[in-house]
Every structure is written in C-alpha cells, then in structure tokens.
Chains A and B, each alone.
Chain A
C-alpha cells in the first residue's frame, strides 16, 4: 500500500497565501499531524483534518505581506505621473490603444447588456417549475412541433393527472374588435383564460379578484396601459365594452406585462369564450381540432416532470382518435426555454436563439481580444523605450514586482479611461439597437450584475493587456538597460507578436467570410423565385364572410381601371395564414393518409398572384359561386406526397380532407410556390373554394396612380364595412417581414466585423509605424546602396502578408464549419463556394497593404541623407 501523502493542491494553497518564513514550520507540523492521523484513524479523516488545518492557518499574521502593495503614496503618485507622461509622449500609440480598448469594451458591455436582457424574460414566481404543454405531431415526412394544444387539455390534466400542480388553459387571440363608447378599435393580444391563470403565471394584479373574475362569464381584466387607451384616466372598473358581439364588464386591472413571451392587453374569463372567437369552428370541446389553445402548468416539484409526461401520453390514448392516437404526443416545455426555442414558437412571438447570443458574445469577445492584442503588441514592441526608466528604477532598488505593478497600473489607467468612454458609447448606441431590434435594453449603473461585470472586465482587461508587457520590462537587467543594450531588435517578443498578429487575422478573416456568406444568402432569398408574383399586390383583411357583401366589394373594386384582379381567400400564397389538416388518397389501390396545408381561394386567386398551372385547370367561377361540390387544386409537393410523378395522372382523382371530411376530385396542379419563408421546405398544399374561411383579399393593381387606387380601395371597404377600419399591406412588405430578422442580424454582423477589422488595422498601423521607425537606419543604408522604393516596401510588408496567408489555415476551416451551421437553418440556401474564401483573403491582404502601405511608402521615398546624417 502506498503511504498516503497530504493533498498537493492544499499544500499549494497554503504556500500561496502563507508568509514564506512561516511555511516551513506550518507545513511540517501539519504534515506530521496528517501522518499521525492517517495511521491512527482513517485516511479520509486525515485528509479532512489536513484541509481544516490549512483553512485555519489562514490567519492574518500568517498572510503574505504584500510588500509590493505597500507602495508609498509618493511612489504611487510618481507612477501615475510617469504613466501619464509616457502616454503623452507616445501619443499616437496611446490613442490607438485607447480607441481599440474603447471599441472592444463597448462591444463587450453591449453584448453583456443584451444577453442579460434576453435572460431576464419570463421571470415569474417559481419560474423553474412552470411548463407549457406542447404538441409533437408525426407525419410521414417530419415531426411537426406546436405550442397549441386542444382546448379540453387543461381540464383533462386538472381532473385526471395527479401531481400536475396548478394548471391553466387559455385561448389566445392576436386581435379582437372592441367597441366602447361607439368607438371601434382593434385590441391586440386578447387572452381568454381560466381561473387558475394567475396562480400559474403570477402577473401583477392591481385590482379585482382574478379567480372570481375569470370564473364569471362576461367579465375581464384589463391592463393599465390598455385602460389608458380605452378609458383615459377614468377608473376602468365596472365599465362595459363590447368584444365582438359580447358585452364584457371590466372587473379588474392587471399591470401591463413586460418582458414576457405572453403579451396581452385584455384577459377575458374562459366561460366567455364561444365559437365566434374561434372562426366559427366548434373547437372548444374538440380534441381533434387545434387552433389557438394553450395549456401551462406549475408543477409542485420538478421530480414530477417525467410522470406527468407519461400521463399525458395516456390522455392521447384516451381522447385522440384514429391516426392521431399514434402520431400525436404531448410534452412539457420549460418556461425558461420558451424565449430561446424557435421550434414551438408562433410567428408572432419573437424568440432569440441561443446561437445568436453565442455569436454576439463571441464576436464581442473577439473584438476585445483584438484590442488587447494591439495593446500587447505595441507595448512589447516599444518596451525598449522604457528600458532606461526601468533600469534607473532598478538601480534605485525597485523590485521586479514593483515594476510590474507600475506598468500594470499604467495599463489600468488607460483601461479605466477606455471603460468610462465605453460606457458612454454603449449608452449612446443602445437606443439605436432598441429601435432597430424592437427591444428595451437599458444601461443601469445601479444594477449589481452590471457593476460587478464591469469591474471584473476592468481587472481582466487591464491584466490581460498589461501584464505581459509589464512582466517583460520588469525582467530587464539594470546594467544592460542603462547601457541601452535593449532595442526592439534585440528584444524578445517578436515571435509572440507574429503569433498574435496572425491570430488577429484569423478572427478578421472569419468575420469577413461570415459577412459575405450571410449577405449572399439574404440576397439569394430576396431574389429567389417564390413561384408567384409579388409586385403590385395589396392584401387587406375581410371582415365578414357574407357572400353578397363580398360580391359587392369585388364589383366595386373591379370598376376601377387600375385594379386588375381581386381574389378572396385565407391569405396570400406566402403568409402565415393557412390551416393544417390531413388528407386521404388512393395510392395503388391502398388508402393512404398524409398531412397537408390548406389554403382557401377563389376563382381569381391564380390570376391575382400569378400562380403557374402545370396540369388541369383552376377553379372556375361556375364551381365557386354556385356549386356546393368540392374541387381541389394541389401543388407539386402534394403531388410528390401522393407518390405521383406526372401531374396529368392526378387529375380527376378523388381525395378526402380531414377537415369536415370534405371530399372531391383534384382538378388542377400548380407549380410549387413558397407557402412559408425560405427557412422552411414547401409543404404539400391543397387549395379549395371554402368561403367560410375567406379572411383576406388580394388585389392586383396596375401600379399606376397608386394613391388614387388606394383611395378607391379604402372607399370600397368603407361602403361595404362602415364599422371597420381598413389596414392594407403591400405584398413586398409582407414578404420582407419574413426575413427582417435575418437582415438585422446581417447588419449587426457587418458592424461587428468592420469594427474588429478596424481595430486590427489600427494595431497593424501602429506596429508597422514603430517597426519602420526602428528600421530607419537599415532603410537608409539600403537606399544608399541603391535599393528601389518598391523593394523597400516589399521588405517591410512581406512578413505581414505571409502572416495573412498563414492565418487562412485556421480561419478557413473554422469559418466553413460555422457558416455551414448557420445555413442549415434555411431550407433553401446558397452553396459555400471557394469564392468567398478567396475574396476574404484578398480583402485582408488589401487591408493589410492599405494600413502598412502608406507608412512603408513614406519610409521608402525618404532621402537617406536625412537618416544617416546623424550617425
């Protein structure tokens, strides 16, 4: 058996804090006690005892005396004075460092605030125990994820699953019509919640008893902000508003929710919910229809998570029918995950991917590192300028530690000034970011995390940037320093500088490649053929599904010469307005089922949006206005889902839709058009005439006399729907919204990468200026011996250019992997071609030549007499 020894780490800790003249005694005595314990008692106890003794040895009188810290006040003032003097003498270099550090620190502070903001979402009491029920629905092609669940879910969980804790179910409506005092308004985000809503999600109730209100039909709570909009300063309690056709009494006030995925203006009691709020579908009691129902629960303990999920599966078996029994399953999604998880998100909720935050933080850290590298490079290169000072101090008795302190102090002064400027810069840019990204970030100097974070940042950056140069200077030999034997030529550190400069190039190249690829992907999306026309199309909501009204509207609109086509349907080809359902078809005499998206259209839809027919025909006016029979047009994806290649073959085949069991023949096939954004594949889609679901009008206009055309449209709406407010949208704008997030990220990426490249250039510029200064003599002599200017420039810049090329070895693979991952988020994407990499290399070469070239050129044309005269 090995003889036990006291833990090395603990001993190391002791020697770290303990005075040197006492270590021997203490360590020896403790070791002796340890060995004794180890033999008399067991080893584990001996170790514990040893650790305890080490801890107890942490006594004030045993602590190392920080002789370096005992710097007298006079010396400290002297340090500050010399620091300021040296910063002033090397003004250009100090400014380069200042700008670099300020930009670097600003980006880190900014990223810090941005990340802190995103993580402060959805903070409720016992947040960690709150979950949302989500639906996973399998079809042949893929898994579909949704946060919408059947309406009876909450009740079923409450009654049948023990240990599920508090459960709330609610209907969420994006927009409802509210009438008060004969004035009509649209109120966004209306929740129809059951009585446990506030017990699961503890939004702040300002007045009223939420449990009672949410149990009584016809009652609601209003947010303080919405109350201001509707009623002004007056007390909202007891006022009656008209929501759709219901009279609702406001019985309570909630404070407006902030920083939550669940934004609302009005919470109506669940018993008020009727089919008029669910598009006339009888969905409220149905397990097979999923509209906009949600279910949240707060578990008593997270240990119940698995058992509750298991019981959810039993609910599927009990309530679902047919294929849904096998294909549907419910899971619990943690509340803390909602803000970051795109998978279940509705389009209306903006999620932030953790990848984005990762990119933001790493990019800002990179910028910080680049700035620190500048600092290290410039200061080690210029160390020779401080050699004499260091020598004199050493002769006068300064220890290496004291010199380190002095030079770290110098970097601290610079860092502090930069940090203060960075706070100012961050404060300046936050409002821009907020309007741009639609967020509400604030810089708060009283916030503890922010203060601790900035202090830590200050210490880390000043040490990271300042320690190595300070250490290097402190190691100078006094005599050699005084004899001026240290010059930048004889100094070590050139290898380190080369390494750090190539590291900067690696970062810059990755950022450039990233920017290029993001840019071309977004251009690709914007220019991709969506499968339909998007120019000169206006969409506007329809407020009723009454056929006489719609016919009237259409005829008024078509009277105008600049309105070419008018069509009604559920929504434009690319929009979030579609329904998911299943359809059954015969494939080689087998009955098969598949999922399909459903869009309701009319006879003018194809012409309005310019869809391209592949086979068969479009719905005709005779089928649409009169007949009751169903006829379907499908897209290519649906054709593929049915396993048929030639579109002609499918014409006439009968299919049955899951929704209302509608069946009929397929009469036409259209070329694929993008149903959702290009992030997603084109799903199988069926189009049919179903006027109960006509919610949007599409108008193809000529594009001439636009203001007049718009006026006509407004007056047409006014005459058919006198009670409503028209909100029309241009199709281009609508499409842009799909990619707005990507575009914004592109812009941010651009700003960040150019900032980092700028700082890196600054550093290069400073470094080359210094090198040239040191090499003046060499240049002079070379010129005397007949070297050409070009040759001199070549000598000065080849090394750097070689470093640029060397950096590609690391930057190219890294950039490839990173960008590949980003592109995977798009179903339709550009290929990563070598072009981007070559371009990035050329750009970095160009930038290097640009920042080096001017100085090198100036040096090369200098008259050698001027340099050599003094020698």
Chain B
C-alpha cells in the first residue's frame, strides 16, 4: 500500500472520530472540533476532510437510521479502519520520539 501522510487537520479528524466512537458523524465531529480548538470553521471543511479520509481508506463510513431532526436524512457514521488506527499510532509514535529528544528548558 502506498504510504499516506497525514495533514494536521486530518490528524485532528482521526483523533476526534476515534474519541467519539459510535457517535462520530459530521455534526458531532464539527462541534467537538470547534469546542476543543476554538477555531472558526465551517462544517463543510469537516465534510471534505472526512470524505477524503474515507477515500484514503483511513476511516470507514456507514449510514445510521432516519431521525426527524435531520429532515429525514440519515446520519453518516465514521469509524477508524485498521489503516487509520495504524497511521494514527505511527504519527503518535513519531511525535513522541521527537518530543522526547527536545529538552524544554
């Protein structure tokens, strides 16, 4: 498999999807993201990023049930794939290694 690199925003997405577990879909990821980072973002950025991760095979998606508060549209739930978990932990390992070499004085 071609090695994929992870952008900063994508990494955040993966982390949030992982954190939210069964409840990871567009709006919840968006809200969590805004809450944690305080960035002024639009939900379309989240959609684009999640779909890109989906295409890269780092997350998988499935539709949930119909609920009234969404105008009859289903939620699209995301979850981490094995590849997603791997790349996330690889990134984490890399960061950790590098951080440990730095001495913050």
Contacts and interface: CB of A to CB of B under 8 A. Distances in A.
Q: Please indicate whether A and B come from the same complex rather than being unrelated chains.
A: yes
B32 to A, nearest CB: 13
A309 B25 CA distance: 66
Contacts, number: 63
Contact of A29 (B26, B48, B51, B52): B26
A53 B43 contact: yes
B67 to A, nearest CB: 9
B44 A22 contact: no
A53 B70 CA distance: 15
Interface in A16-62: 22, 24-33, 35, 52-53, 56-57, 59, 61-62
Nearest to A31: B71
B73 A56 contact: no
B7 to A, nearest CB: 14
A734 B38 CA distance: 85
Interface in B10-69: 25-27, 30, 42-45, 47-48, 51-52, 63, 69
B44 A28 contact: no
B26 A25 contact: yes
Interface string A781-824: 00000000000000000000000000000000000000000000
A82 to B, nearest CB: 37
Given A28-B71, A32-B69, A22 B51 contact: yes
B76 A25 contact: yes
Nearest to A60: B48
B85 interface: no
A6 interface: yes
| A29, A31, A59, most chain B CB atoms within 10 A | A29
Report whether over half of chain B's contact residues are helix, strand or loop; otherwise say mixed. helix
A62 B47 contact: yes
Contact of A27 (B44, B52, B71): B71
A61 B27 contact: no
A53 B30 CA distance: 13
Given A5-B71, A32-B69, A32-B70, A59 B48 contact: yes
A363 to B, nearest CB: 49
Contacts of A59: 44, 47-48
A28 B47 CA distance: 12
A52 B43 CA distance: 10
A29 B47 contact: yes
Interface in A54-91: 56-57, 59, 61-62
B44 A57 contact: yes
Contacts of B52: 61
Contacts of B48: 59, 61-62
A53 B71 contact: no
Interface string A349-373: 0000000000000000000000000
Given A25-B26, A56-B42, A56-B44, A31 B51 contact: no
A28 B69 CA distance: 9
Interface of A: 5-6, 22, 24-33, 35, 52-53, 56-57, 59, 61-62
17 contacts: A5-B71, A22-B47, A22-B51, A24-B73, A24-B76, A25-B73, A25-B76, A27-B71, A28-B74, A28-B76, A29-B27, A31-B71, A33-B43, A53-B42, A56-B45, A57-B44, A59-B48
